[in-house]
Structure 1
Amino acid sequence: MDDSYGSITAGLLIGLDVQVEDLEDIELEDYSRYYEQYVSDTKESIDTIKRIWKDHPTTCEKQMEDVAKMLLSEVQGEISENISSWRQEDHVEFIDHYRNVIGLYLIPLLKDIDKDFSNCLAEKFYEKWVEEFPSGAFEMLSYEQIADEGRNPFTCYITESIYKVLNRNDDYDCYELSAFRQFRDDYLLGQPEGRELVRKYYETSPKITSKIDALPNAEQVYCQIWEDYLSLCLEEIEESEYEECKRRCIRMHRNILELVEGA
């Protein structure tokens, strides 16, 4: 790759000191303003990406692969540099900050550069991001889908949805959700197949919850998931029966997918 392409990643990252709150905590009007500022800050990098496509259309996919690798490497560097100042128990929340920035600004920008090729770069970067940070998965949306349609790339996942239905504390730090996150980080991600399991869960969960929410008996479905799977999995976590919990989670995910696909 031309050395000048290395400036692309620096340019895309330089504008990421924008508002990083979850979409639920930011007004769409403010989001649009922050996004437009990000577009302005990254103009030079975007122009370079467009030049790659124009000058090398037949090898653009390989070029985008290289850009995606470089971009992830830069993000990893920033995370490594800054995460040391956070308490160990806050590391997951720190990764979520980067997930929010990437999902609200970087991915929408990459998807909107040029419809002919920008999805290629967005998808390649997202694939590498999730491979490195499985718990940082989200739904890839364009700016129009977020700003005009009000869609949220961080649609709440199965456990959070269940807790809302059960009228329990759905705070980020509540006991049950913290226990599930600890199981994910301390056990599941350390297993040979664990990263792939977590990646699939986070990639499919937004679609699963959307389909369940559209069912006339959505509350009943969520309650059944809690009774049949998650409440038992929580007991297994408390008893350090992690392998049993993992198998139960796999069955839960498979059965829920079959349920919503047949709906």
Structure 2
Amino acid sequence: MDQKNLQANMISLFQETGKYAQKFHKKTYESDMETLKERYSNLLDEIKGIIEESDDDMEEIAAYVPDYVAEQLSNISSKRKKDIACLDNNMNMVSYYVPLMGEIISVKTKPFTEKMVEIWNKNMPEYKIGHSTREHIQGGFKKGLFCYITTAVCRSLNKTDDCYELTLLRDYRDHYLMNSENGEELVKEYYNIAPTIVKRIDTGDNSAEVYARIWQDYLNPCIHLIEEEKKEECRELYSDMVRKLEKKYLYS
């Protein structure tokens, strides 16, 4: 195994998928993935041979991209710039890079992609990601969609990914919103616009103030509405928040 060459190629692929992640849209996702599979078919075949040959080699190459990203982040001194970079890297990893690796046809594919995610989360515990597949994305990316903006807000307030607020909203999404009329379509729509909204807020000079206002005016009231079993009122308030943010950060 030519380790240096393979490592360079896998990093190059990650940089390429990052360009796709920046313009992510469900209408082009399938064709994007097909383009990447064809363009990098030789690399994917090489990886397949390695992960099937040795578990030790599999673990070694699974660390190439997580280690590379962790090193890049360690060179960023500004917390705000690091948060923005982490958001971009997480989006890349979850939406394109891991799902593309998941297209390798092998019994070792899932252990390999799970190991990448495990190493990623170990290297960057403040910016953890979940395991994802192409089918997962094409199905609407149901896990994590509704709370995309909420996650960004909670992070700005130094709340953890498993904090009470995010856990409550995820439960609301999965057990109420997704089962309500037009709820699944609403969640999918959120995902198409939320990453861009968050990125534009993060690149502004007053992102902390913006997130504080979102928390005060929308998210905290939404949480209280859920606690009071006023779930439809929460839906209306959250929808109002998204519409206003969409108007301000996408069309102004």
Is TM (by shorter chain) over 0.5? yes
**Deviations 1:55-79 (CA, angstroms, capped at 9, x unpaired):** x2xxx32221111223322222344
| CA pair 20-65 structure 1, distance change in 2 beyond 3 A | same
Q: Write out aligned runs for 1:44-63 (5 A).
A: 44-54=42-52, 56=53, 60-63=54-57
| CA pair 80-151 structure 1, distance change in 2 beyond 3 A | same
Identify the residue that residue 241 of structure 1 maps to in structure 2. Answer: none
| Among 15, 23, 26, the residue aligned to 2:24 | 26
What letter matches 1:155 in structure 2? L
Q: Give the number of aligned pairs.
A: 184
Identify the residue that residue 100 of structure 2 maps to in structure 1. Answer: 109
- Distance, in Å, in 1 between the alignment partners of 2:103 and 2:36 is 13
**Residue 145 of structure 2 corresponds to residue 155 of structure 1:** yes
- Distance, in Å, in 1 between the alignment partners of 2:92 and 2:143 is 11
**Deviations 1:89-116 (CA, angstroms, capped at 9, x unpaired):** 2321221000011111111012221241
- Structure 1: state its 5+ residue gaps: 162-171, 189-197, 228-263
**Residue 165 of structure 2 corresponds to residue 211 of structure 1:** no
TM-score, with structure 2 as normaliser: 0.58
**Residue 65 of structure 2 corresponds to residue 71 of structure 1:** yes
Instruction: Calculate percent identity across the aligned residue pairs.
Output: 16
Measured on the aligned residues, the alpha-carbon RMSD in Å equals 3.7
| Among 155, 171, 175, the residue aligned to 1:181 | 155
Q: CA deviation at 1:214?
A: 4.5
What letter matches 1:68 in structure 2? A
- Structure 2: state its 5+ residue gaps: 184-218, 229-252
| CA pair 79-40 structure 1, distance change in 2 beyond 3 A | farther
- Distance, in Å, in 1 between the alignment partners of 2:123 and 2:146 is 21
Identify the residue that residue 130 of structure 1 maps to in structure 2. Answer: 121
- Distance, in Å, in 1 between the alignment partners of 2:83 and 2:157 is 13
| CA pair 80-221 structure 1, distance change in 2 beyond 3 A | closer
Q: Write out aligned runs for 1:183-262 (5 A).
A: 183-184=157-158, 198=160, 205=167, 208=171, 209-214=173-178, 222-223=223-224
